[in-house]
Structure 1
Amino acid sequence: MKNSLEAIQSKKDKAIGLYEDGILNKTDLKDQLEKLDEETRLLDDRIVPIEQKLVQGSKQEISFKMVKRVMNHFEDCYKNSITDEQRKQLLHLLINKITIANDRKIESIQIQMNNEVVRHFTKQGEDKSSSDDDLSSPFSIFINL
């Protein structure tokens, strides 16, 4: 939708250029700009609710209890892994990004908390701590070392 808005702006610029070159008369320019403005309004009406929903989703709180439960279960799973490949897969599931400084030391680790991680690292039969723990969007924790 944002790309469509950019395309509409490009069309407006072209129409103005055609008017300036004398190819398009003032009435046709006005009609074209009104049509493009209406398209812009329709797109904006669709974009605003989506952006609001995204902002609300990103403000979702995750309880400390849920993070602690996931991390404890991750530790158990990691220790009980038989192969290096299993450990590698567990780390890939939990870690989103590792930042390394120029001196080749780990600067920070970004841990992701999303539905897949929560499902994998919470024990079967345990109740969720709250309805907010059903994550619709990823949540990251930065650990600066």
Structure 2
Amino acid sequence: MATTTASVDVPASADRVWQLVGGFDSLPDWLPYIPTSALSDGGRVRSLTNDDGGVIVERLEAFDNKARTYSYSILQAPFPVTGYLSTLTVHETPGQDTARVEWSGTFTPDGVSDDEAIALFHSIYADGLAALAQTLTRHAA
């Protein structure tokens, strides 16, 4: 099993960041390469479409509004991994109007090395968090 984590500090309160990212259907609001998300199964499954028309289906596994975190698994995706579980968490920075957003995942590479799978998901997380920081900066202006 392989793991990776990326994080970013953003110039907004944890509550404000969670309002943007905390909805399981909210990826199109802050992640430019996921323009479409559709919920099913009572809001527990999201079907995402990326810029290339590829479909990724994910299931919400855990949600804690108070702790500002949720975890999800992949049901269907063009990724070379199995057993994927990811967590997105917004941490408050005490005494400051900033927050740290952390995106982590565990998975078993399938047909690729651990290093290749880790590099793939670390890049997805880091690029996604950079897009989140840009979205928050744009909305703050």
Question: What's the TM-score, normalizing by structure 2?
Answer: 0.22
More helix by share: 1
Larger radius of gyration: 1
More strand by share: 2
